[in-house]
Structures are given as C-alpha cells and as structure tokens.
Structure 1
Amino acid sequence: MRLNRNDIVGLAVLWVIGYAAAIYASKPWMTAWSAAAFAAAAAGVMALRLPKRRWIAAALVAAAACCYYVDTDRRNSTALPAAAAAAAHGSQVSVAGTLASPVAVDGDRASFELRVSQLGESGSEAGAAEGAPPEERVQVSLRLLSPAEQTAAASWRRGDRLAMQGELQEPAAARNFGGFDYRSYLRQQGKHWLLVVKGVQQVQHGPPAPISAALTSPRLAAERLLRTTDALRGYLGSRIDEIFTPEQAGFMKGMLIGLTDDMDPGRYSQFSNLGLTHILAISGLNVAVFLGVLIWMLKRLGLPKETYLLVAVFLLPFYILLTGASPSIVRAGLMTMIGLLAVRKNRIKDILQIACLVGLGLLIWNPYYLLDVSFQLSFLVTLGLIVGVPRVTALLPLKNGVLRNTAAITLVSQLVSFPVSIYYFNQFSLLSWLANAALVPVFSLLIFPAGLIATCLGLVYVPLGRLGAWVTEMGTGFVFRIVEWLDQWEGFRTIWPSPSVFWIVVYYLLLAGICGGLERLVRSRRVQNEDGTPQLDAPAPGRSMFTRYGTSSAAVIALGLGWLGLLYYGYTPDRWSSEAYVDMIDVGQGDSILIRTPAHKYILVDGGGTVSFRKPGEEWKLRRDPYEVGRKTLVPLLKKRGVHKLDAVILTHEDADHSGGLQAVLEDIPVEAFIFNGTYKSGPQVEKLFRTVIDKKIPLISAAYGKTLRMDNRTRLDFLAPLPENGQLMAGRDSSRDASGSGQPAFPDQRTAGKTGAEFAPSAAQDNYGSTDNPIVLENEQNGVSVVFLMEMEGTRWLFTGDMDVKAERRVMELLQSRNSVPGTHGTKLPQSDTGAKEPDGTEDGTPQTPGIDVLKVAHHGSKTSTGSEWLGYWKPRTALISAGVKNMYKHPSPDVVARLERNDIRVLRTDLLGEIQLLVKNGEIYVRSVLSGKPAASGDS
C-alpha cells in the first residue's frame, strides 16, 4: 500500500490528535503492545479494502498514537530503585557519572546535566550502596564559593567524569496556579532529580573516556562528537566577543549560533514586546540564510549544482548541532535536507508532505516535542506559510509583487502564531505586524548575512572581522533604535489571558473557513477570457451583484463576525462573571495579594521582592539575569489571568520583600492609582519605584486612618493605619524630617484621587487629614507605619495588616475603642464572629461591639513581633492567611503565633505549605483552594 500526499498529511494530523487525547486520558491497558496492535489493525483495514476503511483506519491510527504516548510517558520515570529514590529524597548522597551537557556558569551558580553511573550514601564510595543504570540523568546545581571555583567549573567539558557529594532533591513543582512547573519541565527532558552541591571541593574531576572507547560505543562516539561541537561553539562565541562590541556580541551569538546566555535581558524584553523573538531564536529563517550564503559561496567556487547541493546536505547536520539542535532548527534542517535531496534527484515533492513527514518523525522520536512551544510555533507557522501564503497572496489587492508577498507572509505568520503566543506569553503588540513586516527582511537579508560574513572573516584575520563587524553594527544599531522607539508606545501592548485548547481549535477553524470562503468568493466572481486571463464577470441583467454572490458573502461575513466575537471573548472571558476573589500569591518570603471585586476591579496589595545580602567584594556572585520575583513570577501570573490594568496598587510599606516586585508590575501593566503609607525609605530600589510612578503620571496617594476607597457598590476599603499621633502626620516617625533631609518632599506631590474609577476620600471625621500639603517624610523602620485596611466585599470582611507590629496593633485598637466605632460599619451593630452573619444597615446601637472578620492577613509573615492575643481577641477572625517562604532563614511563621491562632480556633492557611491560596467569594461565602491541596472547600471547614 503506497501512501499519497493526503495520506501523509492525514497521518500526521491523526498522530497529533492521538497525542492530545493521551494528555487528558490514560488507561492501564495503553501500552506499546496495544499501540502496535492498533497500528497493525489500521494497516489491515486498508489492505483488505473494507467498507468505510478510511474512517476506521483513522480511528485506529489515533488510538495507536494515544497508546504510544501513554506508554512513553509511563516509562518516563526514575531509573533508581523505588526504595533508593524514597530514601534519597532530601538526603546527602555520593554520585559518580559523566558530564552530559555544557556547564553553564552564571555568577555563583553552575548548572549542568550528569548521567549517573553510580550512587551511594554520603561518605561512602559512589556505588557502594546502590547502583544506577546509565540512563538516569540528574540536573546538578553547584553553588560556587569563589571566583577560582568559577574558573574551575567553566573548564569542565561534556564527557568529563565527575564524582560529587550533594543533596538529592525532587525538583520543585509549580507553587502558583498557572505558574512555571520546574518538575514537569525537567521530566519532559527525562530528568527526575535535582542534585544540589555546595562548593567545587565536593566535586572530583576526571578526564573523559579515551577516544579508543568511542570507536566501540555509539553512545561514547556521539558524546565525543558533541564535545567537539561544544568546543567549536565556544570558540566561535569567543571570536564573536573579540570582533563585536559588548553591546552587540551577545545579540550576535544568539542570532548566529544560538548562545543566548550573554544577551541583554532588556534588549530581549524589547524584542519580546514587539513579537520579534523569533529573530533571536535559531529557526528556519537562520537555516534559509545560512543555506543561501553557503550555496552562493559554493557557486562562486564553480561547483556544479549536484555537487553544491550534496555539500549543503552534508553541512546542514553540522550547522544544526552547532546552533544547539532546538526543535525549531531540527525541523527546518531536516525539511531542508529532504528538499535538497529531492531537488538534486529532480524529484521535488510537495513541501507540505515533507513538513508533515518531518513532524511525524520528530513526534515519534520524542512525543514530548508536542508540548514544546518552539516545536509548536515552528510547525504551525511553517504549515501556515505553506498552505496560506499562496491563497492570501491571491486575495490581496496589491499590484507590487514584493509588497504583496511580504504582506501575505506577515499576515499569515501573525494570524497563525497568535493563539499559541498569547497562550504562553499572554501579550500581543498591535505594532507586531508593522515591526515584523519592516524588520524581518532587514535581519534576514542584511544583518544575519553580514554578521555571518564578519564572523567568518574574523576566523581568518581578526582586524578584518572587526571591519565587517563595524559595518554590521551600523545596521544593528539603527534597528535597535527603531525597536526601542516602537517599544515606547506602551498603549499598543495588549494583555491576553491564556485561552483554552477549545478556544484555540475554534480560532483556527474559523480562520480556515474565512480564508476558504474568501477564496471561493473571489473565484466565483471571475471568468476566463479567450486568452485564459481572469476578468471580473459582470452581473446578469436584472440581477444585482449581491443577489448573485450574497450567499457566499453572508457566509464570509458571518464567519468573520464569529471570529471577531471569539477574539473579544478571548480577551475578556470573565466579562459576564461577577465572582470576586482574593489570591495570596506565593512569592516566597514576601507578600503579594491580588483582589478582584465583583465589578472586575483589580487591586494588588504589595508585590513581594527578592532580598539581596551581597557584601562589598562579592560582585562576582551577581548573575547576568538574576531572578526577580516581580518579573519572573508576579507579572507573568497577572498577565496569564488577564489583568489588563490594576485599578489600585497598595504598597503597605517599603521593605524590599513587599515593594521589590512592584517595579516590574509598574513597567509592564497599566496602574490607575498607587497608594502608600506616606513615607519614604531611603535606598535605590525604593527611589526607582517612586520615580517610575511619577514618570508614568500615576496618581500617588498617601493612605491614613479614616480614608475610604470604594471600588464598586459591593467593595469598600477602610484604612485603619497609619495613624495620627500627637499632631504628627503619622505615628512612629519624626515629622520634622523628609526624604531628602532638607524639609522638602523628595518627590513632586501628586497625591490626588486621579481617574481610578473608584472614590478615594477621607471620612467626615478626617476630611482635613492627609491633605496635599503634607510632606513625604523619611522613615527607614517601616513595619510600624504599614498600611492597614479593612475590606468589605460581597458580604464578607477582610483585614490586611502589612508588617505591623504589636505596638501598632495596640494603637489601632485604642483608637477604634476610643471612637466607639470601626470604619466601614456606619454605626451599625457589628456581627459576632461565630456566625459570620451581617446585621442589616440601620440597626444602630450606641453600645460598642466587638468587630468580627472572616479573614485576617497575619502581619509580618507570622513573626512573633505581631498578631498578639489582644489583636486576635478584638477582631476574632475565622481564617488566617500567612505568606512565608519555604524553609526561610527567619523561620517564619513563629510556632508561638501558629499555636496562638490554633488556640483561638482560627483556620491557618500558609503559602509555605500550600503554595498559592485562592479564596473565592460567592453569595457571601468564601471557598478556598490552594495549589498543593485538594478540591475546594468552604473556608469554615477544616
């Protein structure tokens, strides 16, 4: 039985469908044997020419693919025996093996992959306690203790033999809903363990296996080839560093040979915002340009067509290895090799068939490629260009052929890649179309070839390479300025929540329907002249153009409206939902809380932060792209959840573990109002934060006792602190000093309500407090002046406390008791906390009542300096939230505080144990779920 063009395409589609089904459904009987049985049955059905054989065979092929994926996934488990794996988790072990990847040295960290040959208990010879088959691979994270250790680790090469002692850990799973899952990421690479090693002194380094061993072992031969490729790649990278300026070298290494370690993170962010990261990634564009330059050079040498095509085929695998062998470059390289061989034999095949055949082969080789974003974008865009560009080109009413082709390629690639891009990256720039149309040809036709030629010249003679690099840098510098200018237009950036798979499928179906409908509509309006040229057909007498073509036009219009409606729904899928929620995001040792009101208003309380304890002389420990919780965790989560703007950001105080992550938030997400405690803590991080607020013209509002923020008719925030004391602006600080020490505010005073969509005003008792002539004052001890507020939302009551201490708790209680009321109660009798029920407005009672709240955000991560017994007795919360990092150095939360909460029958929810905690407010009830717990339960349940 011979497969035709449609069979290859259909087989690839069915294989993908089978894999997709396997991701959502797995059964014990799905094994490699059942996959083989289904495949054999499909072949038999086709060979016997049974009725409806194509439908039956299609179902059997999809079933075979499903079983194959399930079997592969089931086999992807640790090769260590179960008992050893259980005992090794979190324990010190001795490991011996072979270095199976290049060593990535970044600051005081080195990371690499180790193929384990022996494993034993710490202190024993590796392998004395337990053996491990060579298939077991672990990811090693080595902490470097000195610059000399940096140099030593950087000298190790793939294939070297290493023995080391360290702590064997299970990789961390996602700790936030929709967050990055490191455990799953490593598992898709076949790695199940993380070995943490402290210091190079824990590592014994040995030479690789001799070359003679590689002659008898295919694995060692491949290892030796990769070792040589790594060395050549490193040499090329060093030569690029030598001929290009530091600003350009990292960019060129990424574009030419796929080394992205030295790329400027800020530059990468600019390209990412404009949808231009495919220029920086090694892909089909690089293969095409490399092949074009190579064939041009071979032609200049006078080689015949058959010879230079064959040389190109042999050199392409080398180029694939040299550039890192990512899924996108493997796809492009294999397709190009097959195409060149077909051209050489004058048997050129359908390029769509070649693409599907390559994709099918890669998916069989590694089923996890289906989950790789590089693989997905590479094949989707390639298939879209193959199928769509000829059709779209015929539809565009442009006379210039080059312009028409460029527009068609840009339009198709943007439309096809859009769903996958927003699924993973949750943003799309409306300038992406323009940027790609204008800049991709410049990179592919000018900058990439020029950079490649400059590098080749530099390999021959460095000064000559520098001359070529100088010419190249003039072009890249001009492009960089254009990218910077386009990136400044922040209003064109749009934020999209991650759509469902169903939404993506419907998107592509509607897009295909629109394209097909337009193609049929245009074809139906054309007739052939005698010379075969197309010409518009005139309508028949008595029949209008709409009558003749109205049905087709209506179908296209209907599909177009459906597609636009789908986009609108994808942009705001929860537009018609009135559910409110409070998310305590797991940002490690810090605080960050996202509040969504019933009217879709978003409030972010604090942003976490990464605290650095670097000392003078430890600059070598700094990483090229250090982890920053706002940029790496908080902003991606906000985008993934479709937060298009924040109606208010509340900074409770300016310590780094609450304020550090807000810098990235302000830079990437529109903010309508910034509320803080009216003080300033000296330091470059806080200064940069407030400068960003002012530069972006965000209203800067100082919170204080008595002020009220109404977000909507069902959400109200009453601020309880900072407090006035003895005529000072705020308690616990010297009002005679300001941020600069000169008696003047450190920043321009912009504390106005602004256009927040919410009402921010002091209560009647405090309408003169906090007026705009109050200066911002210096306060380095921030905990005592934290912003504290009581929130009433959808019939529930919440108390947010920042890092307030016991002294501040006592002052708040004394003030509330002295005034015989609690803000937000409007003189009503407050409910008792045992029921959580609310008295209706108007049941006034002159007797002061003990306030009751549903949820308390425990101050200062559960420190023993906060959350006193009087405070708990006053508010009587039902649930307590504690944000603390796993195994944090401060040992938060304090066991005394946890015991105090439990003695008061308060349910305790901790991010260090549960990960992110989401509290859904619905019909006056609060439902809780967390990343590391089971299904949702009412907040009052244990």
Structure 2
Amino acid sequence: MWRQLYRPCQRLTADSSRKLLLWYRTLTRRSKHVPDGGGNVSNVRHWPNETLARLRTFVTGNDGNPRLPLYRTLLWLGLFFAAGIGVARLPWYWMLIAAAWCRKPLLVAAFAAGLFYATSYEWGYRPTLEAFAGQEVVVQGKVTAEPVWKNGAWRFRLDSTGGESMMVKVKQSREEAFYYGDLLEVSAVLEKPSPPRNPGAFDAKAFYERQGIHYALTAKSVRKLGRDDRGLHGRLFVPIRKRLLEVVDQQFPGEQGAVIAGLLLGITAEIEEETMESFRVMGVVHILAVSGANVAMILLPFLALLNRLRIAERRRYLLGIFVVLLYGGLTGGGPSVVRACTMAVVWCISRIVSRESDLLTSWALAGWIALLLNPLTLYDPGFQLTMLITMGLLLLPERLRFLFKMMPDKLATLLAVTLTAELLSVPIVLTLNPAFTPLSLLANLLIVPLLTLLVPLSVCTILLGLIHAGAAALPACVARLLLDALILPLQYTGQARWLVRHYQAPPIWWLFGYYAWWWVYSVRPVKWRQIALTFFASFLLVGLIRWEQPLRITFLDVGQGDSALIQTPNGKVWLIDSGGIPGFLNSTFDIGKRIVVPALASYGIDHIDVLVLTHADEDHIRGTTAVMEHFTIGQVLVANAADPSPFFQSLLQEIHRRHIPLLEPRAGQTVALDDNLKIVFWNPPPKTSRANQHSDLTDTNAGSIVFSLHAGHHTFLFTGDAEQVTTTLSHVDVLKVAHHGSKNETVLPFTLDHALLSVGAKNRYGHPALSTVEQLHQKQATIWRTDRHGAVEAVLDGDILRIKTWLPAQDTK
C-alpha cells in the first residue's frame, strides 16, 4: 500500500525534469501551416512568435485548427489546483491519496501548488488579537468597504493600522453616515464572529473568515480622524456608483429602486426582508447577484450599438472589455462577478484575434483568477453555485434537449437551459435555504425574457438620467411596469408559500456523487446515457430514502427562553415552546423567525403534530406567531387557556382562527407515540385540586406543563418553569432544568445523568443560580448550557444515547 502511495512521488522526482523540458520545447516549437479538410492552408492570423501563439492557445483553449481537439490544459490545471485547496483542511492522508490518484506530473504540480497556496494564505491571514478577545479595545483604522445602513445601525469593514480587518457595527441614525475611506477611532469590546449556534443558523464565523475578517466590534463610541479615499476604487468606482444610485432613487422610488440596485449592481441592503424571502422561496434570488446574464445583457446591446455606429471590430471589442471591467468594479468584484467578467473578457479577446474561445477554458481561467485572489473563495457557496451552474450550462442543455424534442427549437433551448440551472443549483441551495417549490422552475422560465427587456431598459434609463431626469421619463415608465410584472407575482406566490416544502440538506457524499454523475453524463457517448440514467436514479433513491430514524431531541439556543424539538422514529414532531423576547424589552429581533423556524426547516419539517405551550410567559411563546406562519400544526396543548396575559390571549385567537384544536392536558394523562414510546404528564394538577397547590409561587410558573418522555428504559423530563413538581420517577437520563436554573429549583428526588440549562448569555436575572448548579454537581450530572454550548441535541439510537452540541468544545469555556 505504501509503495503505491509513494510511487507517484518517485515518478515525479525521476521524470519531471525530462517531461517539463519536452513540454517547453513543444510550447516554443516553430509554427507550420496546417491544411484544412480540403487541402487548403487554414486562413489564420499568424503571430510573430510561435511562443505567443501557443500561449494564446493555452489561455483561449483553441489552436485555430478545427480538426484538432481543443487544448484544455488550463482547465485541468485549474481543477487540480482547486483540489489542492480543497484538501488543505483535510487530514494529511487525504493528500497522499489525492496525489496517488493523479499520474500526470504537471497535474501533481498544480495540486501541490494549490495545497501550498491555500496553507500559506491561511497562515498569512491568521488571527493575531486572540489575547484581547472579550476585552474593551480602541482601534484605529480605515473604512475599506462601502458602509451599509440596516435595522438602525451602520455596518462596515474596518482595516486597522495593525493589519487586522474587522466588521464594525455602529448604532446611530442614517443621517450620521460613514463613507468609504473614513479614518476612524472605534472604542468597543473585541468579539469573535459566532459560529452557528442552532440547526439551520447562519455561520457568521466562516462567512467572515473567507473575507479575512476574524473579529467584530459593536462600537460604544466612534471618532472620525480624517479621510483617505486614494486608489482606483475610492476615486473612480465609489463616486460613479454613488451617482448611479442617486439616479436610481430618482427614477425608481421605493421598493422598485431597491430591486433595480440589486439587479444591476448586486446591492441588496435596501430590499425589504419580506421581498427577499419571497425571492428565496421562489428560487429566483440569484437574479439579485450579478452574474453572466447581467454582463451579457449589458455587453451585447452595447456591442450592437457600436456596430450600428460603424465602429471598427477591433475597437468595438476593446471598448467592450473596458465596459466589462468598469461594470465589474462598480458591482464589487464578488465571485460571480469575477467569473462572469473574466469569461466576457476572454470572449472579447478571442474575437479580437479572430478565434473562437473555448468556453470551458474561459470558465477555468475565471476560477483561477478568483482562487488566486482568495483561495478560501472555494468554500464560498456563491462561488460554488456560479461555477457549477456555468459549467452545466456549457455542457448539459444539448444533452437535455431530447426531453423537449416536440417543441420549437427556441422554446426547447430555453426549457433545457432553465432545467439545467435548476438541476445543478437546487442541491447546494438546500444547504443554504431548505425551502423549495416546484414553481421555481416556472418562475425562472418566465423571468428570463422579462429580464432580457428589463435590464437593458433600466441601464438606458439610468444613462439618460445622468444627462437629465426628464430624458429618462419614458423608459423609466416602461421599466417600472416591467418591475411590477416581476415583483408583484413573486411577492404574492412567495408569501402565500404555494407548494413550498422543506427538505433536509443532502450529505456531502451525496453532493459529490450527484455532481460527478452529471459530469460523466455530459461527456460520455450517447449509448451510455440510458445506463447512466438508470444508475443515477438508483443513486438518488438510496440517498433520499429515509431509513429508520432515531429518537432526536434538540434543545434550541433561544437566549433567555425555552424551545425544544422532539422527532420520533415514526416521524412525529412535537415542539415544546417557541422562545421569544418579552415585549417590555422593545426588541425587534424575532426569535421564532430567526431561530426556531430555520431550525425546524433544516430538519425538513413541514408539519408539527403537537405544539406544547408550557405556560403564558412570553420568553416561551412569543416565537409561536412565526411558527404558525411557516408550518401546519395538528394540535396545541396549553396549561391554562384562561390565563389573562394579553399576548397569550391574542395567540389563542390566532389559533382558533386557524381552526387548530386546543387542549389542556392534566397530570396523570398518558399519550402513546409508538409501541415503545410514550409521554406522561405530571403537571398541571387536576382543576379540582389546583387551587390548593403551589401557594408560594405564581400561578403561571407553577402551572406549567410538565411531562416525561419514556423510550424503553430511557427517560427525558421537560419541566417548563415549574420549579416544584412531584413525580414518581427514580431516574432521569436528560432533565430540562426548570425556570432556567433559578434559585427556587426544588430538590431533585431522582438520579440524573444529564441536565440541560436553557439560559441566555449574560442574562439580567443571573441564571443559572449557583445553588442550582451545585445541586446538579452533587447529582454527578453532566451539565449542558445553551449559552455556552449552543443548541444541544440528544439522540437515542437503539440503546445508545449520544449528546451533540452546536458550538465546539473550545468555544464553550
């Protein structure tokens, strides 16, 4: 085995010099005229030096001879360079396996270069202020990205004088603006971006690390020291973009202007959250990210106009390159922008030198440039999407046209292209947003011709608006009508959530197999496709079939509140409380919408069989409104429907309006969930005796629903906020500690293995109380805290109980 692993390295050492020398001689060999099929010398433009001609072939992928196969050296080198970056974060033996699989020295060199480059890049951008994390600091630096104002605060990137980049949040009015190039002194506590604390949560840590940002500041005070906007970005792109946005605001007021800014410039900060959610649900949010379609809709009309003006071909395409580069700078240069602009520039160059460019080689060159700028871009879902979809659009539509052979050619092509984009985008999109509707295929099919008209017309409106506002009135009027035709149907269907289902993200091995199969399908001969299609269908079924699931209990991190999710082996779903921030705190953060709904959706849940509202406190129930908007509910259990709490009563009215059954369980009742799974209620007591119990505690907490879940000889106890509950249990495997671990917690009469404390970090109540923690330690129980561990998941598979936390161990100290 070891000999097989080291053999490629031995071959590389012995043969690399000889093969690289032969490759160099081939590259610099003198040219010869190559006859075409009719015996005539090909009519090609001869370069003065064959080395330059072969360099052109290396970049464009075309040597000018249609009878010879295209050279795609850059494509294969790029793929192996990306593979080297990909294994940089894997264990060392994966590197040896990857090197052993490759037999070409040049490809091994590309793989090693990617590995070395990614490792060096991460080492060079490693965090250097770990010793100051959690402490108050004063940082001086420069604003190096245009600030964004949203939800009452400014957010921007600050490059400190010490070399660290930080994300800064400043809570102040929109009128007190910050600008690119501002020199600031910021006083704040140095924090680290948080990894995901719950299922389906946004990974802020990974997102910012890909941009070289390791720290975040929520400013206590900010002082402006001066301004430095030197450089091409500050002196050219920022002023032009600012002027363009002013014209957009003049010609497209309100929501329409925000959508136009997203369509043309990729700026989505001003788009309302409801509209963005509708675009995500309908699968068309990609139109708000600048891509190849945007570049084509701007470049091609521009070239057509120059052609009508009788501009020479060479100058026409040179001006096209200038427009593409200018547009790329105005839109910020994200992964999709780099890919689209690179392919457009290579296409223009190929037209200038009278050659047809190889689109796959252009695709590879775009990937090279993006990865050389930042190798961590490889882990960016946006980069993965744009590269996969673009390659698919280059290879697959012709292979899928047979599905639409009875239709006109143009319609068949449009359908094949749309289907290709859907097939290649949906699996990765599900890892980001688990909601999907088959209507997205229809939506994408309808918006393509609409955007073909809207984008050039909007660009024309803006250019005319730069001259005079009145000159843009007519095209702006037509563009606004097209915008209504785009936005209103998407908003209506997205908010109505027609045919929307939630799907659990596929595992990584399934994604690799899925995309590898499409690659094989696109390059294999026709006779193999039927066999490949059968194999692929079987592969999909094996990956998507849900085998027998374990009992899964997830205690969500909802801050100073409660929410737990029970998923049984037979597919039943119970949600116990939904978290929430009490109304008197005047917070705009919706726990249900931001935490609970994404968590349930990430598990592929569409229906909640039972929603348990343990009592009427808002930190347990305020997230229920968002839950009812996104999921169907079989029935709701409450402790006391007569509780006078205003929010609780408004919630009950909404439950009745939706015709959801409402029940009040009582101590002694039992619910059988499966043959070996049951729930036993211990509280509230029967109504006849309730007035005589818990006289020293408030009715709301003391009357919380308390129940135990029994799976074989394992027991899980859920206590709500009931601090003193009588049970006959002798042993509990997992206890959800009552009332966030307050000091009124009663003496536990049973033995205990694991204790879960649902508490908010640095909460105002001092939870959990030291006395409660000491009692749990005396019980020799393992303590899990949502403020330190994030969400905590207990999985019972057969007779084996496993505990998983969302935050890694080093982040829970």
TM-score if structure 2 supplies the norm length? 0.84
What aligned pairs does 1:389-788 form with structure 2 within 5 A after superposition?
389-393=397-401, 396-442=404-450, 444-487=451-494, 490=497, 492-514=499-521, 520-521=526-527, 556=530, 558-572=531-545, 575-611=546-582, 613=584, 627-679=589-641, 689-690=651-652, 693-694=655-656, 697-726=659-688, 782-788=700-706
Task: Report the alpha carbon displacement of residue 66 of structure 1 after superposing the two structures with TM.
Answer: 2.0
CA distance in 2, matches of 1:457, 1:681: 62
CA distance in 1, matches of 2:190, 2:391: 43
The 1:28/1:714 distance shift into structure 2, 3 A limit, reads: closer
Alignment of 1:357 onto 2:365: yes
What aligned pairs does 1:237-276 form with structure 2 within 5 A after superposition?
237-276=245-284
What aligned pairs does 1:53-64 form with structure 2 within 5 A after superposition?
55-64=104-113
Kept in 2, the 8 Å contact 1:916–1:931? The answer is yes
CA distance in 2, matches of 1:678, 1:256: 54
Deviations 1:586-624 (A, max 9, x none): 122221212122323222212222445566xxxxxx8xx
CA distance in 2, matches of 1:455, 1:683: 53
Which amino acid is 1:656 matched to?
E
More displaced 10-residue stretch of structure 1: 879-888 or 448-457: 448-457
Which amino acid is 2:254 matched to?
P
Which residue among 376, 385, 398 is the counterpart of 1:377?
385
Task: Report the alpha carbon displacement of residue 136 of structure 1 after superposing the two structures with TM.
Answer: 1.9
Partner of 2:793: 918
Partner of 1:343: 351
Partner of 2:167: 139
Partner of 1:849: none
The 1:934/1:923 distance shift into structure 2, 3 A limit, reads: farther
2:396 aligns to what SS in structure 1? helix
Which amino acid is 2:166 matched to?
V
CA distance in 1, matches of 2:661, 2:563: 21
Which amino acid is 1:854 matched to?
D
The 1:701/1:236 distance shift into structure 2, 3 A limit, reads: farther
Which amino acid is 1:562 matched to?
F
Kept in 1, the 8 Å contact 2:181–2:227? The answer is yes
Q: Which runs of 5+ in 2 are unaligned?
A: 1-22, 28-57, 62-70
Kept in 1, the 8 Å contact 2:264–2:290? The answer is yes
Which amino acid is 2:535 matched to?
G
1:672 aligns to what SS in structure 2? strand
Task: Report the alpha carbon displacement of residue 321 of structure 1 after superposing the two structures with TM.
Answer: 1.9
Kept in 1, the 8 Å contact 2:404–2:412? The answer is yes
Deviations 1:715-756 (A, max 9, x none): 2112233333348899999xxxxxxxxxxxxxxxxxxxxxxx
Alignment of 1:861 onto 2:736: no
Which residue among 203, 216, 221 is the counterpart of 1:194?
216
Partner of 2:90: 24
CA distance in 2, matches of 1:682, 1:448: 55
CA distance in 2, matches of 1:904, 1:394: 68
Which amino acid is 2:540 matched to?
L
The 1:592/1:206 distance shift into structure 2, 3 A limit, reads: same
Kept in 2, the 8 Å contact 1:723–1:730? The answer is no
Kept in 2, the 8 Å contact 1:881–1:910? The answer is yes
1:595 aligns to what SS in structure 2? strand
The 1:693/1:568 distance shift into structure 2, 3 A limit, reads: farther
Deviations 1:120-175 (A, max 9, x none): xxxxxxxxxxxx2xx3212222233xx4xx422x1x22112112322222332332
The 1:381/1:86 distance shift into structure 2, 3 A limit, reads: closer
Which amino acid is 2:783 matched to?
V
CA distance in 2, matches of 1:386, 1:29: 30
Partner of 2:38: none
Which amino acid is 2:227 matched to?
P
Alignment of 1:800 onto 2:806: no
What aligned pairs does 1:43-442 form with structure 2 within 5 A after superposition?
55-78=104-127, 80=128, 85-117=129-161, 132=162, 135-144=163-172, 147=173, 150-152=174-176, 154=177, 156-176=178-198, 179-198=201-220, 202-209=221-228, 220-222=230-232, 225-226=233-234, 228-393=236-401, 396-442=404-450
Which amino acid is 1:912 matched to?
D
What aligned pairs does 1:799-838 form with structure 2 within 5 A after superposition?
799-804=717-722, 806=723, 809=724, 812-813=725-726, 832-833=730-731
Task: Report the alpha carbon displacement of residue 27 of structure 1 after superposing the two structures with TM.
Answer: 9.0
Task: Report the alpha carbon displacement of residue 296 of structure 1 after superposing the two structures with TM.
Answer: 4.0
The 1:643/1:564 distance shift into structure 2, 3 A limit, reads: farther
Kept in 2, the 8 Å contact 1:708–1:716? The answer is yes
TM-score if structure 1 supplies the norm length? 0.73
Q: Which runs of 5+ in 1 are unaligned?
A: 43-51, 118-131, 212-219, 522-551, 616-621, 734-779, 817-821, 823-829, 834-852, 936-942
Kept in 2, the 8 Å contact 1:244–1:466? The answer is no
1:175 aligns to what SS in structure 2? coil
Kept in 1, the 8 Å contact 2:395–2:522? The answer is no
More displaced 10-residue stretch of structure 1: 159-168 or 456-465: 456-465
CA distance in 2, matches of 1:16, 1:596: 39
The 1:108/1:227 distance shift into structure 2, 3 A limit, reads: farther
Deviations 1:62-103 (A, max 9, x none): 23322322222222212x4xxxx3542222222222221222
Task: Report the alpha carbon displacement of residue 310 of structure 1 after superposing the two structures with TM.
Answer: 1.7
Count of residue pairs brought into register by the alignment = 741
CA distance in 1, matches of 2:430, 2:350: 37
Task: Report the alpha carbon displacement of residue 362 of structure 1 after superposing the two structures with TM.
Answer: 1.6
More displaced 10-residue stretch of structure 1: 370-379 or 63-72: 63-72
CA distance in 2, matches of 1:194, 1:177: 23
Query: Which structure is larger by alpha-carbon Rg, 1 or 2?
Result: 1
RMSD: 3.3
| Percent identical residues | 28
CA distance in 2, matches of 1:357, 1:885: 48
Kept in 1, the 8 Å contact 2:759–2:768? The answer is yes
CA distance in 2, matches of 1:639, 1:226: 42
More displaced 10-residue stretch of structure 1: 912-921 or 405-414: 912-921
The 1:877/1:394 distance shift into structure 2, 3 A limit, reads: closer
CA distance in 1, matches of 2:688, 2:570: 39
2:633 aligns to what SS in structure 1? coil
Which amino acid is 2:285 matched to?
T
Which amino acid is 1:203 matched to?
V
CA distance in 2, matches of 1:462, 1:370: 43
More displaced 10-residue stretch of structure 1: 241-250 or 294-303: 294-303
The 1:112/1:247 distance shift into structure 2, 3 A limit, reads: closer
The 1:681/1:367 distance shift into structure 2, 3 A limit, reads: farther
Task: Report the alpha carbon displacement of residue 466 of structure 1 after superposing the two structures with TM.
Answer: 4.8
CA distance in 2, matches of 1:414, 1:343: 31
Kept in 2, the 8 Å contact 1:598–1:794? The answer is no
Which amino acid is 2:670 matched to?
T
The 1:246/1:860 distance shift into structure 2, 3 A limit, reads: same
CA distance in 2, matches of 1:354, 1:415: 23
Deviations 1:672-703 (A, max 9, x none): 33333342667886577556645655443333
1:604 aligns to what SS in structure 2? strand
CA distance in 1, matches of 2:469, 2:700: 56
Which amino acid is 1:265 matched to?
E
Partner of 2:18: none
CA distance in 1, matches of 2:356, 2:630: 48
